[in-house]
């Protein structure tokens, strides 16, 4: 498939925003159970603002993928059957809750709603639960847009959903580590260790998907495409000289060598280097390494997402890819 940079930026930016929100709320939950010191309200408020800006950036990027942005609202009408339509609904709902979560912390809405012994439930905790549900729903909707396509074998796997969840969470927790260096230094170790664990889990599942895809055998052949049961069918012509929608949208137009190179590049940038930088930054207390870990990982995620789209082989390429 042709990797559209608008979709690459959409999925990586909202993934980082979702992951950062999950990191913020995870820290608050730990503090709720007295497992961590409670961070200042401004930490959650500014963190929510950063998450919201990432989500807005992803939303803006998505508009460059639309032929008619003024008709975007109509895409929400098919929510019963379309994962894209469900994403269009869940994304703004999640953004609204992230906004309210940040405002609640900024204004100090910590009045007790319910008390369980030494545990006090306030409005920020309730908004955090709602935001977490919407966050996981958004991960599911975004990933299922691709995973539900049975004819694209590389995407049609539960690993697609797992990888979207883990890669977004990894970048969000890595960003939370860098952010906490200045906003909540006593939480740097907590977020850094979580970022390393999630990055390692993402490495396992992403490698599993690479191994799975490498073993796939195309279900369609030239014989099945034209219904002729002959052992030797040779394609001679595309039927026209120039390009077309099919050759532009369903094929990346790059060679197999570039695809292999991008695969190794993203494996290093998304997993190996960030893990080394996070470990070095936590061990030596060097904040620069922690910021570098997020930047390197995000650049790697752009390459990973490009590879994700380019690797998917549309059945129509049996005909067009060979000629084009």
User: Which is more confident, 322 or 200?
Assistant: 200
Residue 114 in 3-state DSSP?
Answer: strand
Comparing C-alpha atoms, which of 301, 225, 286, 289 is closest to residue 15?
Answer: 301
Query: In this structure, what token pair is assigned to residue 256?
Result: 């197999």
Mean of pLDDT values over 203-226: 88
Confidence of residue 238 (pLDDT cuts 50, 70, 90): low
How far is Cα 23 from Cα 76, in angstroms, rounded to an integer?
A: 29
Mean of pLDDT values over 7-21: 97
Residue 61 has pLDDT above 60, yes or no: yes
Residue 174 has pLDDT above 90, yes or no: yes
Query: In this structure, what token pair is assigned to residue 161?
Result: 């959903």
Segment (H or E) for 33:
none
How far is Cα 163 from Cα 160, in angstroms, rounded to an integer?
A: 5
User: Which is more confident, 245 or 3?
Assistant: 3
How far is Cα 322 from Cα 44, in angstroms, rounded to an integer?
A: 53
Mean of pLDDT values over 136-161: 95
Query: In this structure, what token pair is assigned to residue 142?
Result: 């975004």
Mean pLDDT of the chain: 90
Confidence of residue 272 (pLDDT cuts 50, 70, 90): very high
Q: Which segments within the chain are labelled E, that is strand? A: 114-116, 119-121
Q: Residues 30-39: pLDDT tens digits?
A: 999 989 988 8
Confidence of residue 324 (pLDDT cuts 50, 70, 90): very low
Which pLDDT score, from 0 to 100, does residue 100 have?
97
CATH code at 5-215+248-318 = 1.20.1630
Q: How far is it between the farthest Cα atoms of the chain? A: 77
Residue 65 has pLDDT above 50, yes or no: yes
Q: Cα–chain-centroid distance for residue 293?
A: 17
Least confident residue range of 15-24, 56-65, 174-183, 273-282:
56-65
Model's pTM, two decimal places?
0.93
Burial of 220 (0-12, 13-18, 19+ CB in 10 A): middle
**Beta bridge partner(s), residue 120:** 115
Query: In this structure, what token pair is assigned to residue 60?
Result: 């803006």
Q: Residues 106-119: pLDDT tens digits?
A: 998 888 788 877 78
Mean of pLDDT values over 166-192: 95
* CA end-to-end span of the chain: 14
Q: Residues 288-304: pLDDT tens digits?
A: 999 999 999 999 999 99
């Amino acid at each position: 498939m042709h990797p559209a940079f608008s979709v690459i930026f959409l999925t990586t930016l909202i993934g980082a925003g979702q992951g950062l929100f999950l990191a913020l709320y995870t820290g608050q939950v730990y503090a709720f159970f007295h497992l961590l010191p409670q961070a200042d309200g401004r930490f959650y408020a500014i963190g929510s603002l950063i998450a919201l800006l990432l989500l807005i950036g992803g939303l803006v990027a998505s508009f460059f993928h639309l032929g008619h942005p003024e008709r975007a609202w109509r895409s929400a009408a098919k929510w019963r059957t379309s994962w894209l339509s469900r994403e269009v609904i869940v994304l703004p709902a999640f953004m609204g809750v992230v906004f309210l979560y940040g405002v609640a912390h900024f204004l100090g809405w910590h009045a007790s709603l319910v008390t369980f012994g030494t545990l006090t439930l306030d409005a920020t905790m309730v908004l955090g639960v709602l935001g977490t549900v919407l966050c996981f729903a958004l991960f599911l909707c975004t990933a299922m847009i691709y995973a539900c396509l049975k004819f694209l074998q590389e995407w049609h796997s539960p690993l697609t959903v797992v990888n979207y969840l883990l890669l977004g969470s990894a970048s969000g927790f890595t960003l939370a580590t860098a952010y906490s260096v200045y906003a909540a230094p006593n939480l740097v170790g907590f977020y850094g260790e979580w970022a390393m664990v999630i990055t390692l889990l993402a490495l396992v599942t992403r490698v599993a998907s690479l191994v799975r895809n490498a073993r796939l055998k195309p279900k369609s052949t030239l014989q099945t495409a034209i219904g002729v049961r002959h052992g030797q069918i040779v394609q001679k012509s595309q039927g026209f000289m120039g390009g077309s929608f099919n050759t532009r949208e369903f094929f990346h137009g790059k060679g197999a060598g570039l695809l292999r190179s991008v695969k190794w590049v993203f494996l290093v940038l998304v997993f190996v280097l960030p893990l080394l930088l996070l470990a070095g930054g936590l061990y030596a207390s060097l904040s620069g390494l922690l910021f570098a870990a997020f930047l390197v990982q995000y650049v790697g995620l752009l390459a990973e997402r490009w590879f994700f789209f380019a690797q998917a082989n549309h059945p129509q390429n049996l005909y067009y890819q060979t000629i084009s």
